[in-house]
């Protein structure tokens, strides 16, 4: 069934704006939020996902809704901030109710998990493009940036980089859905934004960033912002049983370094603070030391004690030869 713009908003997006600090939510010309709160700063992020660029045409609508918010939560996590309010701009080729219902369920399921209110948006006809803007807050004395890494700091990563890219490969190649394949596919469809980890490392990390375009590319950005280099220990990269079952070591390294879509956090901290961090960590989320920050520039990879040259570095929307 096809719905009008007003019905879409009323049915799917109008009643998810409940938080005590939402003074006026969906339904008026704009939302009004209570952003006071002594000792807090407002943090704002926005991300757009485009069909055919960020996700294949075939994936489930609920996964698209979920991912549209997950990518933003990941940015907020990388700042050490707590998410609170989002707006949604939805461009749809058609108003197919089943699709919209699925999309809304994925988006709002994740919003509820993180206590995020949907306070407004826009709904238009056009190519399938979803933009979510997410705002939240962080304590005024300390938020995380990409620019604070110092030579000698240890370089950490959460989770298992490469699993999401391997999962995308599973989807695109229509690989048989064994348990391992399904697990990897799920990592692409349902990335877990590391909001709790971001909050936890807020006071110990010197720099942090979320990995969306690929570990190498994103680490290069962190190094450039911090005006330092990094030595990445390829042997230390965590791998999962599912990865090992379906891909050889070279492919696993390639996915980990250049795959993208992980939405894990990379962060740096002085090595003497590592025990304190590890003592408080969530046992369900691996945190792995994968390298060290150096006084140089750029990222050097080392494997079995020798320099290692990766096959590719990561995703760049405007790189020559890249097209969706
Ligand atoms: P306007 O013409 O003033 O932009 P709209 O008709 O576009 O208003 O939207 C009406 C109300 O519904 C506004 O409060 C807007 O923020 C909200 N809204 C529109 N689309 C969405 C959406 N996809 N998700 C959440 N709120 C939406
Ligand atoms: Mg509008």
Kindly list the domain boundaries of the chain, sorted by start residue. 5-139, 154-308
- Token pair in block for residue 208: 């942090």
Nearest protein Cα to ligand 1, atom 11: 27
Ligand minimally distant from the alpha carbon of residue 10: 1
Measured from the Cα of 120, ligand 1's closest atom is 16
What CATH topology corresponds to 5-139? 60s Ribosomal Protein L30; Chain: A; (3.30.1330)
Ligand minimally distant from the alpha carbon of residue 9: 1
* 3-class DSSP assignment, residue 91: strand
**What was the pLDDT predicted at 236?**
98
Interval between CA 96 and ligand 2 midpoint (Å): 19
Substitution candidate for ligand 1 out of 68, 120, 132 with most atoms within 8 A of CB: 120
| Element (DSSP H or E) covering residue 118 | strand 117-125
**What was the pLDDT predicted at 55?**
84
CB atoms within 10 A of CB 255: 29
Interval between CA 69 and ligand 1 midpoint (Å): 18
101 pLDDT tier (thresholds 50, 70, 90): very high
Pocket of ligand 1 (CB under 6 A): 9, 13, 26-29, 88, 90, 118, 120-123
**What was the pLDDT predicted at 323?**
44
Nearest protein Cα to ligand 1, atom 5: 122
Cα dihedral 200/206/211/216 (nearest 10): -150
Of all residues in the chain, the percent with pLDDT exceeding 90 is 90
CB atoms within 10 A of CB 169: 19
Ligand minimally distant from the alpha carbon of residue 8: 1
Q: What is the mean pLDDT of residues 301-314?
A: 88
Phi/psi for 264 (5° steps) reads -95, 170
Interval between CA 124 and ligand 1 midpoint (Å): 10
Q: For strands 207-211 and 264-269, give the pairing.
A: antiparallel
What CATH topology corresponds to 154-308? Phosphoribosyl-aminoimidazole Synthetase; Chain A, domain 2 (3.90.650)
Q: What is the pLDDT of residues 59-73, one digit of tens each?
A: 899 999 999 999 999
* 3-class DSSP assignment, residue 105: helix
Q: Which long-range contacts (CB under 8 A, 24 or more apart) does 249-256 make?
A: 251/166, 252/162, 252/166, 253/162, 253/310, 254/162, 254/310, 254/311, 254/312, 255/161, 255/162, 255/163, 255/165, 255/166, 255/169, 256/160, 256/161, 256/162, 256/215
1 pLDDT tier (thresholds 50, 70, 90): low
Which residues, other chains included, contact 50 with Cβ-Cβ below 8 Å and sequence gap of 6+? 127, 128, 129, 324
| Element (DSSP H or E) covering residue 130 | strand 129-139
How far apart CA 273 and CA 148 sit, in angstroms, is 15
Interval between CA 15 and ligand 1 midpoint (Å): 12
Give the angle subtended at the CA of 246 by the CAs of 242 and 249, to the nearest 5°.
Answer: 95
Q: What is the pLDDT of residues 5-17, one digit of tens each?
A: 899 999 999 999 9
Nearest protein Cα to ligand 1, atom 9: 122
Q: Which residues pair with 303 in a beta bridge?
A: 306
Nearest protein Cα to ligand 1, atom 2: 29
Q: What is the pLDDT of residues 27-43, one digit of tens each?
A: 999 999 998 878 999 99
Q: What is the mean pLDDT of residues 138-162?
A: 97
Sheet with 154-158, edge to edge strand ranges: 207-211, 264-269, 154-158, 287-294, 229-233, 298-303, 306-308
Interval between CA 30 and ligand 2 midpoint (Å): 10
Interval between CA 27 and ligand 1 midpoint (Å): 6
Nearest protein Cα to ligand 1, atom 1: 29
Task: Provide the strand spans (E) within 182-324.
Answer: 207-211, 229-233, 264-269, 287-294, 298-303, 306-308
């Amino acid at each position: 069934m096809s719905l009008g713009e007003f019905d879409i908003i009323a049915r799917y997006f109008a009643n998810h704006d409940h938080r005590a600090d939402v003074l006026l939510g969906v339904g008026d010309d704009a939302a009004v939020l209570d952003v006071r709160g002594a000792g807090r700063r407002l943090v704002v992020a926005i991300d757009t996902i485009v069909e055919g660029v960020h996700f294949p045409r075939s994936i489930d609508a609920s996964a698209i809704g979920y991912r549209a918010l997950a990518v933003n939560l990941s940015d907020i996590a990388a700042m050490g901030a707590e998410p609170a309010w989002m707006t949604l701009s939805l461009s749809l080729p058609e108003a197919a109710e089943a699709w919209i219902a699925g999309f809304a369920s994925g988006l709002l399921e994740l919003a509820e998990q993180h206590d995020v209110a949907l306070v407004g948006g826009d709904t238009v006809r056009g190519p399938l493009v979803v933009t979510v803007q997410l705002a939240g807050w962080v304590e005024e004395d300390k938020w995380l940036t990409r620019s604070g890494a110092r030579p000698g700091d240890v370089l950490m990563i959460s989770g298992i980089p490469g699993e999401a890219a391997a999962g995308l490969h599973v989807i695109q190649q229509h690989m048989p859905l064994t348990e391992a394949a399904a697990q990897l596919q799920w990592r692409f469809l349902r990335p877990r934004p590391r909001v709790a980890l971001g909050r936890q490392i807020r006071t110990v990390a010197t720099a942090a960033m979320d990995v969306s375009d690929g570990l190498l590319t994103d680490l290069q950005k962190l190094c450039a912002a911090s005006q330092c280099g990094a030595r990445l220990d390829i042997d230390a990269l965590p791998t999962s049983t599912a990865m090992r079952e379906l891909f050889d070591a070279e492919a696993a390294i390639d996915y980990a370094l250049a795959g993208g879509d992980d939405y894990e956090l990379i962060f740096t901290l002085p090595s003497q603070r590592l025990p304190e961090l590890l003592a408080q960590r969530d046992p369900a989320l691996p945190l792995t030391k994968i390298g060290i920050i150096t006084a140089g520039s750029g990222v050097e990879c080392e494997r079995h004690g020798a320099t290692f040259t990766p096959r590719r570095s990561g995703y760049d929307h405007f790189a020559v030869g890249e097209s969706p």
